[in-house]
Structure 1
Amino acid sequence: MAIDRVPSLKRCRALGIEAAVVGLGKKSKRQVNRRTRKVSEYGMQLKEKQKAKFIYGVLEKQFRLYYDKAKKMQGVTGENLLILLERRLDNVVFRLGIASTRRQARQMVSHGHITVNGKRLDIPSAFVHANDVVGVKESSRSNELFKAIAESGNNLSVPAWLTAGELGGTVTRFPNRDEIDVPVDEQAIIELYSR
């Protein structure tokens, strides 16, 4: 399995996004002293695609498959692409406040700590459906990390399409574009792939 090992703050600085979007609480102290050049239309579209891939932790091959799937769905392709990315299990774990970053959520899922409808699921890219119940496995709840998460009550900013409980929650419906707060221009991604 391929892994993106680029330092997160360095990547955020290069793409021009805040570290809080990825879930990091720290900021970079470095100042970028680059000459500003005029960015071509292709360069702008490529940057938007790289932003989306970095935020959701998806590599190129899988991202292209999501685009192909979104193109076949009814509705606007760009919105469908973002909805598919939001429906990933690791993203839902992050949105419920069980993990502080999407990378941590991915690790929790792949280590077998997360259940969907009472069954253990260790595939971070699995799609959740409406009325699915996502939670932490009973044997993992005694872990120090999950005890700390339960005491802190991390799920203060849960999106409207999820209902949160203690160390888990329910997917009530799929998100709308208005509820996805990712700073990505999905139309530029669609234009890039449709060249």
Structure 2
Amino acid sequence: MNQLPVIFKCSHHRKGNSDLAADLFLKGIHSAGGDAEIITLGDMDFRHCIGCLKCRTAENNLCIFAEKDGAQELYKKIIFAPFSFFSAPIYFYHLPSRLKTFIDRGQWAFEASTGKSGIITDLPARPAYACLVAGRPKGDKLFEGAELSLKFFLRFFKAELQPALTFRGIDEPHDLHKQIEKCATISRAGKQAWHRMINNDR
């Protein structure tokens, strides 16, 4: 199954700094002659993991809520995408709640990756990218928790998170837009991601 790279906008606030980062990453992909699908995760709603562990013994390790909301379709996009990109603000040193709920629901993929389900075990290794934007100007471990959660969540899908783009002191809605060099860095990252994909450089 051929599928475009997938870009997740993870903020609950539309047209803010992390949404702009996602658009800039896509702009870079376009400049390299590619394309990607954008998913506005912050606008979606799905059930949270209840820790029932029924995914441990279910067919293909699917969550009991897999047919009751749209989360499973989003996991499929990560599964089939040649690479993925997550753009998110930092709230209290971590990821916004919709993204964290999405990660928690990924328990089924952990069970599948450690078992015999071909859904995960037969996947090739692929890269994943992220841009994290924080209003707070300082803090030694400002992005650490967010990066670790994303890193190990994505490993369930055989996707390896590359070093994230991280920006501090980006607080007001148009702060990132005013910083031309940072915007160029994000666009360049999108262009490079596409080139790596078509050159099979992983």
- TM-score band, normalised by the shorter chain? under 0.3
Q: TM-score, normalised by structure 2?
A: 0.22
Q: Highest CA radius of gyration, 1 or 2?
A: 1
Q: Which is richer in strand?
A: 2
